[in-house]
Structure 1
Amino acid sequence: MSPVPPVTEIGPRDAALQRAFCDYVPQVFRTVDFRRWCAWGEWNDDYRAFAVLEDGRVVANASVTRMRLRLEGHEVQAFQLGAVGCVPSHRGRGLARRVMAAALDACGDAPVLLFANPRVRQFYPLFGFEPWPQTLFSAPHEAVPEGPPAPTLDLEDAKVRADFATLSREGLPVTERFGARDYATIASWYAANGFSRPLRGLGAGAWVSADIEGDTLYLDDIFAREPFDLRAWLPRLIDRPIRSIRFGFTPERWWPGALEAGEDLEADLFVRKLSLSREPHRFPVLART
């Protein structure tokens, strides 16, 4: 019988193990990379990887991110799993189960959520997770460009990242129904991989992630210190007329009249020890690991 492989915890100060982790990720998730994000210094104490190593290589992993969730107006300390998998050459040996068990052990009795790969939906219920639906939200709204365009903010700049982290930590949660705060390092990962929409500045205390597709403005997230008139700023976020808005979060705070636009069939949310409202909601897309 083969010996049970140990699980190694990788943290923000483990440079050599971080490199091994970065080599692992594209072997399992072909379009994903952590190298630029690590070079930016975004791997902090909130992020830990639990990995099986063989000859210095990470061959299986489950990562844990500490989260400050917002549930119906209350803050809940929780965790989110990500980068769960095993390299193709080592599948079928139970390694993914082993790292999952280690990651969940690190979470203790706290609530846990994750967004699954559609190909492994049957895997997570083995660990007490249950699927939970996510709702798409949209609103009809016609607007045309007007006024100076809102400037684009580049997270390649360390000062911008620092200001972004402060705004995410101290500002309003984008939603109180089911969201989070203080997740700038998750959002920066999307930027480092070129997956996020442009980050635009609406004055000193409000940044939004938004872009146009066709005649629809996709508004993925809002980071703001206090409420503001979003409708008044829309003409400065667009370079051509729009007829509708799609929201990457539950927009009860920013657009109370938004409509349900069906189920988000790409979300694949799973929760464990987390009691969620049956009211329609969408966990912010830039807070998902």
Structure 2
Amino acid sequence: MTPPAVVEIDHRDPALQAAFCDYVPRVFRTVDFRRWCEWGEWNDDYRAFAVLDEGRVVANASVMRMRLRIEGREVIGYQLGAVGCVPSHRGRGLSRGVMSAALESCGEAPVLLFANKNVLGFYPRFGFKPWEQALFGAAFHAVPGGEPAPVLDLVEAHVREGLVSLSEEGLAVTERFGSRGHARIASWYAANAFSRPLRQLHADAWVFAGVENGTLYIDDIFAREPFDPRPHIPRLIDQPITAVHFGFTPERWWPWAGVAGEDSEAYLFVRNLGPPSGPHRFPVMART
């Protein structure tokens, strides 16, 4: 059988970009890339490797170039996303073809991906190994107080630019296993209304955070300098809380946080990468 022809799509080709955007909800029903593209967030770091049929994308594997942080070291690596095939074209080896093309573009660099639980047997065929992800939390009692931290809307171009600046120039949210410069991944969550509110503690410290059932969830911190988040908690909540949970390994921000269990919904697979020591959680706002 002749291998399928794979086309590389980047942000410079509006027609192919539109074809990619049409493909995504056909495979991932609640996911859309159109608004993210309209915001201009697709840049040189993101490439899609696709098979087309009569101009329509029918299979795809995307690659996001990332500045990974692994136990204090910065490593250029890649994260795969939007891997799939439309139902009408399954069983033809198209997913294997786009995966092979995507991985070839990564060379020997580290690669990671978060899988759908229905295809966990697919990725080990390409040299991927599963890694367990932990949940982190701490007991913390607080009530609302002070001037509420303003909510920033990423629909505003200047807010997106500010987030990119903090992400590129500031601290990585974790040094154990995370990334620097993932603002354009975080903005994708906002574009799809999947993120908690982005709140401004001060000019150089922004957080994605929200309260659910008496727990404050801090999903990410974008800041130029380290700070103690505890005094700011009353400004982030609109009801009393008894706990704080984190969308990342919080060794820098809340070192006394404990492991609250396994992240049973994070099916992380890695390739060309050894695990960091100790429990860890790759930041939820940096996952493609």
Give TM class, smaller chain. over 0.9
- What does residue range 38-57 of structure 1 map to in structure 2 within 5 Å? 38-57=37-56
Matches of 1:57 and 1:94 in 2, distance apart?
17
C-alpha distance in 1 between matches for 2:159 and 2:172? 19
Report the more deviating stretch, 135-144 or 273-282: 273-282
The answer for the alignment partner of 1:279 in structure 2 is 278
Aligned length, in residue pairs: 288
Structure 1 Cα separation of the partners of residues 129 and 193 of structure 2: 31
Q: Which runs of 5+ in 2 are unaligned?
A: none
Q: SS state of the match for residue 261, structure 2?
A: strand
SS in 1 for 2:280: coil
| 1:21 match: secondary structure | helix
Q: Distance in 2 between matches of 1:4 and 1:174?
A: 41
Identity across aligned pairs (percent)? 71
Partner of 1:269: 268
SS of equivalent to 1:27:
helix
Please tell me whether residue 14 in structure 1 is matched to residue 4 in structure 2: no
Q: Who is 1:103 aligned against?
A: 102
Structure 1 position 275, deviation (Å): 1.1
> 4+ runs of 1 displaced by more than 3 Å?
none
Whether 1:79 aligns to 2:78 is yes
The 3-state SS of whatever aligns with 1:235 is helix
Give the 3-state SS of the residue equivalent to 1:106 in structure 2.
helix
Could you say which residue in structure 2 is the equivalent of 1:146? 145
Aligned position for 1:186: 185
Query: Which residue number corresponds to residue 226 of structure 2?
Result: 227
Report the equivalent of 1:23. 22
CA-to-aligned-CA distance 1:234-265 (integer Å, 9 cap, x gap): 01000111000110000000001101011100
Q: Deviations over 1:194-245 (max 9, x none)?
A: 0000000011000000000010001100000001120010010001110001
SS in 1 for 2:23: helix
Measure the CA separation in 1 of the matches of 2:169 and 2:58.
38
Q: Report the 3-state secondary structure (helix = DSSP H, G, I; strand = E; otherwise coil) of the residue aligned with 2:202.
A: coil
- Retained in 1: the 8 A contact 2:7–2:50? yes
> Are 1:156 and 2:155 counterparts?
yes
Structure 1 length as normaliser, TM-score?
0.99
User: What's the counterpart of residue 210 of structure 2?
Assistant: 211
Distance 2:280 2:84 in 1: 28
Q: 1 CA distance for matches of 2:209 and 2:90?
A: 39
- The CA distance in 2 between the partners of 1:261 and 1:236, in whole Å, is 25
One-letter identity of the residue aligned with 2:244: I
**How do 1:56-135 residues align onto structure 2 when only pairs under 5 Å count?**
56-135=55-134
1:278 Cα shift? 3.7
2:3–2:97 Cα contact (<8 Å) kept: no
Query: TM-score, structure 2 length as denominator?
Result: 0.99
- Shift in Å, 1:181: 0.6
In the aligned structure 2, how far is the partner of 1:255 from the partner of 1:40?
33
Paired letter, 1:223: F
Deviation at 1:277, TM superposition (A): 1.7
Equivalent-residue separation in structure 2 for 1:166 and 1:276 (angstroms): 29
8 Å Cα contact 2:144-2:240 kept in structure 1: yes
Query: Which ranges of structure 1 fall in alignment gaps of 5 or more residues?
Result: none
1:66-105 alpha-carbon deviations (Å, 9 max, x no partner):
0001011110110000000000000000000000000000
Q: Which amino acid aligns with 2:35?
A: R
- How many angstroms apart in 2 are the aligned matches of 1:221 and 1:107? 27
Q: CA deviation at 1:169?
A: 0.6
The 1-side partners of 2:184 and 2:253 are apart by: 23
CA distance in 2, matches of 1:277, 1:65: 21
CA distance in 2, matches of 1:270, 1:214: 31
What does residue 256 of structure 1 align with?
A: 255
The two structures, once aligned, show a CA RMSD in angstroms of: 0.7
* Whole-Å separation in 2 of the counterparts to 1:166 and 1:12: 21
